[in-house]
């Protein structure tokens, strides 16, 4: 039996496929490569124990199935299943139908993995904080809190 507990999965839902893919790559890259630096600063002390560890599973669900702008509940549920390791799945969304589709899927139950939750966070900064925190082995509540706190990082 592995001594590592399962990591929280992260799903990034955007109106745009390229936006979701790029933010997933950005967050995964920062969590994997710069854990002690920039990303560590975003996610606070939680990333401290990350060095050498696995990066949390991240999946992008952007745009519609035919590659247009919009939201696809099938892409979202497939992405959530891909990253579900049994520790919960945090879904971050951009706006409009992305928000409403995830809320509708969660409200009606049965389509997303158990423990899936919509995390209220800024999309890019929240994604980085969530992936870094999840990669450190934090539970879903801590991942959610780290992503939410990204609202507080003022830029001026």
Q: What are phi and psi of 116, to 5 degrees?
A: -75, 135
How many angstroms separate the CA atoms of 31 and 25, rounded? 10
Is the CB of residue 75 less than 8 Å from the CB of residue 61?
A: yes
Binding status of residue 133 toward another protein by CB under 8 A: no
Binding status of residue 109 toward another protein by CB under 8 A: no
Binding status of residue 112 toward another protein by CB under 8 A: no
How many angstroms separate the CA atoms of 90 and 100, rounded? 15
SS3 content of the chain, % helix, strand, coil (to 5): 50, 15, 35
Binding status of residue 117 toward another protein by CB under 8 A: no
Please report how close the Cβ of residue 97 comes to another protein at its closest, in angstroms. 4
Binding status of residue 78 toward another protein by CB under 8 A: no
Q: Which of 67, 100, 120, 151 binds another protein (CB under 8 A)?
A: 100
Residues that contact another protein, how many (by CB under 8 A): 16
What is the contact surface with another protein in residues (CB under 8 A)?
64, 68, 70-74, 96-97, 100-101, 103-105, 107-108
């Amino acid at each position: 039996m592995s001594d590592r507990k399962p990591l929280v999965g992260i799903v990034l839902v955007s109106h745009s496929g390229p936006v979701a893919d790029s933010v997933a790559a950005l967050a995964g890259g920062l969590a994997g490569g710069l854990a002690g630096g920039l990303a560590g600063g975003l996610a606070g002390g939680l990333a401290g124990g990350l060095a050498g560890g696995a990066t949390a599973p991240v999946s992008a669900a952007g745009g519609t199935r035919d590659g247009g702008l919009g939201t696809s509940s099938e892409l979202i549920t497939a992405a959530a299943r891909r990253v579900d390791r049994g520790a919960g799945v945090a879904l971050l969304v951009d706006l409009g139908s992305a928000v409403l589709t995830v809320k509708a899927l969660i409200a009606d139950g049965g389509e997303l993995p158990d423990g899936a939750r919509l995390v209220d966070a800024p999309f890019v900064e929240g994604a980085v904080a969530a992936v870094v925190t999840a990669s450190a082995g934090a539970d879903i509540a801590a991942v959610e809190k780290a992503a939410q706190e990204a609202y507080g990082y003022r830029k001026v």
